[in-house]
């Protein structure tokens, strides 16, 4: 099973993990790591690498970060150097849930499916005043 490490600014990574578990139940092999301005960057980079090693059961690891180019992504790059590890940035909840449901797949396939889900559920709607709307996923 693919391991997952979520790395994000502030408490976002922990909240993402809590939301995944709210939807899917308790999860094994997923770690959440917070990055704050006062954190020692070298220590956080080691923590991320250690977390990736801890969840790697041999099928690979996906490191999911909140945005490209930010400290969480930059600090996660070293943990992605071993074979069968990927970084996936721009996290949202649909992406994370789909990734968690796809952990039995190969890393490239799980990442592709998760990216598709993350993109699919970004949209906008104009709700007319006085109307009742029920949004459905789909």
pLDDT, tens digit, 9 for 90 and up, residues 79-110: 999 999 999 999 999 999 999 999 999 999 99
Mean pLDDT of the chain: 94
Residue 130 within a domain: no
The pLDDT, as a whole number, for residue 55 is 98
Residue 77 within a domain: yes
Residue 54 within a domain: yes
pLDDT in tens, 32-57: 999 999 999 999 999 999 999 999 99
Distance CA 112, CA 90 (A): 13
Prediction pTM value: 0.91
Q: How many domains does the chain have?
A: 1
Percent of the chain with pLDDT over 70: 95
Residue-range definition of the domain harbouring residue 38:
3-120
Residue 8 within a domain: yes
Residue 7 within a domain: yes
Neighbours of 21 (CB within 10 A): 13
CB-count burial class (<10 Å; 0-12, 13-18, 19+) for 22: exposed
pLDDT in tens, 2-15: 999 999 999 999 99
Residue 138 within a domain: no
The pLDDT, as a whole number, for residue 111 is 98
Residue 91 within a domain: yes
CATH number at residue 81: 3.40.50.510
The pLDDT, as a whole number, for residue 134 is 65
Residue 112 within a domain: yes
């Amino acid at each position: 099973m693919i391991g997952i490490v979520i790395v994000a600014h502030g408490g976002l990574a922990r909240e993402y993990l809590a939301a995944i578990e709210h939807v899917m139940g308790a999860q094994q092999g997923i770690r959440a790591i917070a990055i704050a301005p006062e954190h020692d960057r070298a220590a956080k980079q080691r923590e991320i690498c250690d977390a990736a090693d801890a969840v790697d059961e041999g099928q690979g690891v996906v490191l999911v970060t909140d945005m490209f180019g930010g400290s969480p992504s930059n600090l996660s790059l070293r943990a992605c150097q071993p074979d069968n590890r990927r970084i996936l940035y721009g996290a949202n909840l649909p992406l994370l849930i789909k990734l968690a449901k796809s952990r039995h797949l190969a890393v490239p396939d799980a990442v592709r499916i998760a990216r598709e889900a993350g993109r699919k559920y970004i949209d906008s709607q104009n709700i007319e005043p006085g109307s009742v709307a029920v949004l459905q996923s789909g």
